[in-house]
Structure 1
Amino acid sequence: MTEQEKGPQGRRRGRGARERVLGAAEQLFRAQGINNTGMDQLCAVAQVSKRTTYQHFDSKDALIAEYLRRQDSDVMPEVFDRTDLTPRERLLAAFDTPRSVSPDSVTPLCPFIAAAVEIGDPGHPARRRSQEYKTSVAARFAVTARQAGALDPEGLGEQLALLLDGASTRSRVLGRETLPTAAAIAATLIDNALPAPRPSVAET
């Protein structure tokens, strides 16, 4: 067909097709999982033809990898880039319950964890992207921990990253929010990792 090829329901291909495919992927992958989402369903939700989809993504694997590349590409900037908080407060802010989570729901499962669980091939681009992201989270924790004065910032960064992943997974499994508990544990880890404050002159 020509440049005016139409997909389902008469939607023209155009420049918006790629974004509609990625939007449908985010919606469906999060709601029902990667493996349970077929390309026919995804194209129907995106309202594009399968041919158009494969012009933008040569395979479902390529689409999965791009979907993950767009997830939190700056690694939690809403936490680590805040200038109104001290470094210690930024470390704890990572465990705040998202405002988008209603009282009757829980924090969504991290898409990188979900992808790593569903995709068994360690060489799959989505698995590599998930590994890169999780490494970056620990690194951002470590940088902030160093700013807070932690004696072992890399160790604290890895502990907090592990704790955050555990809370995300446990919330999904139990169907109830566990971030507040994780936040309390994080506060203890952070305080134990920071040097004890020096006594003031008046106290000596």
Structure 2
Amino acid sequence: MTELEKGPLGQRRGRGARERILSASEQLFREQGIHRTGMDQLGAVAQVSKRTIYQHFRGKDEIVAEHLRRFDPDLIPGVFDCDDLTPRERLLAAFDMPANLPLCPFLAAAVELHDPEHPASQTAREHKIAIAERFTETAREAGATDPEQLGEQLALLMDGASVRTRVLSQDSFPTAKAIAATLVDHAIPETPKGSEVR
């Protein structure tokens, strides 16, 4: 690897160029996928030269991995950490997704890359495990008899709804939320009064 490829962060444009590269990657990966996005196109959309890209990143693999790391590290904090909702309500509120939500970027990357050792595949795996853990923690707070099982079920249901929404171009999250409510009711023997689905 050349010194240019390893190189220090660009001095002339600073973080501005890096942010433009990552913003361009988010747009292009979402619109046309990872494989169809070339470095020349990425540079054109980000308005930087290929040389500048390599001053910030060692290559496309690193851009893909950093692209995924930029997504919410707190894992839907507006839901899981909401004090206004009971734990049971939080489990269901996770399925209140916008109808125009694009396919989960972690699923999209894992499907396209095929390589379990790719840094982005590892990031996607860690994210999916963390989502299931947040569901499990919340299920435990809600009094589920088997919080680990409920957490895995809800995480799987969320991924399925995301893929089905993308494939059929219709919102599958309301149906997923109804299924989630059945799972939650079955897993939590006594639902506290006042915590029904709103």
TM-score by length of 1: 0.86
Of the candidates 146, 165, 168, which is equivalent to residue 171 of structure 1? Answer: 165
* Residue of structure 2 equivalent to 1:161: 155
Pick closer, same or farther for the CA change 1:144–1:42 going to 2, 3 Å.
Answer: same
For residues 32-51 of structure 1, what are the structure 2 equivalents within 5 Å?
32-51=32-51
What is the one-letter code of the residue matched to 1:85? L
Contact 1:138 1:161 in 2 (8 A): yes
**CA offsets per residue over residues 100-120 of structure 1, 9 Å max, x none?**
x4xxxx331000000000001
Task: Quickly say closer, same or farther: Cα 1:162–1:35, change in 2 above 3 A.
Answer: same
Displacement after TM superposition at 1:97 (Å): 2.6
**Match in the other structure for 1:201:** none
Cα distance in 2 between the residues matched to 1:126 and 1:14: 25
Give the Å deviation of 1:72. 1.9
Of 131, 137, 148, the residue aligned with 2:131 is 137
Structure 1 segment 187-202 matched on structure 2, within 5 A: 187-196=181-190
Q: Which amino acid aligns with 1:167?
A: A
Paired AA for residue 64 in structure 2:
I
What's 2:4 paired with?
Answer: none
TM-aligned CA deviation for residue 14 of structure 1: 3.0
Cα deviation digits, residues 175-200 of structure 1 (max 9, x gap)? 111100000000000010002369xx
Report the 3-state secondary structure (helix = DSSP H, G, I; strand = E; otherwise coil) of the residue aligned with 1:15. helix
Deviations 1:78-108 (A, max 9, x none): 111111100001000010132xx4xxxx331
Identity over the aligned pairs, expressed in percent? 67
Determine if the alignment matches structure 1 residue 117 to structure 2 residue 114.
no
Following superposition, the deviation at residue 15 of structure 1 comes to 2.6
Question: What is the alpha-carbon distance in structure 1 between the residues aligned to residue 104 and residue 113 of structure 2?
Answer: 14
Structure 1 residues 145-199: Cα deviation after superposition (integer angstroms, max 9, x where no partner):
000000000100000000000000001111111100000000000010002369x
Query: What is the correspondence of 1:142-153 to structure 2 with a 5 Å cutoff?
Result: 142-153=136-147
* Equivalent pair of 2:185/2:191 in contact (CA under 8 Å): no
Moved over 2 A (4+): 12-15
- Code of the aligned partner of 1:175: S
**Larger of the two Rg values belongs to structure:** 1
Map of 1:60-99 to 2, 5 A cutoff?
60-98=60-98
Give me the whole-angstrom Cα distance separating, in 2, the residues matched to 1:142 and 1:28: 34
* 1:126 counterpart = 2:120: yes
Unaligned stretches of 5+ in structure 1? 7-11, 199-204
CA distance in 2 between counterparts of 1:91 and 1:110 reads 18
Q: Would you say the 8 A contact 2:150–2:187 is kept in 1?
A: yes
TM normalised by structure 2 equals 0.89
Tell me which residue corresponds to 2:16: 16
TM-aligned CA deviation for residue 75 of structure 1: 1.1
CA distance in 2 between partners of 1:37 and 1:117 (Å): 15
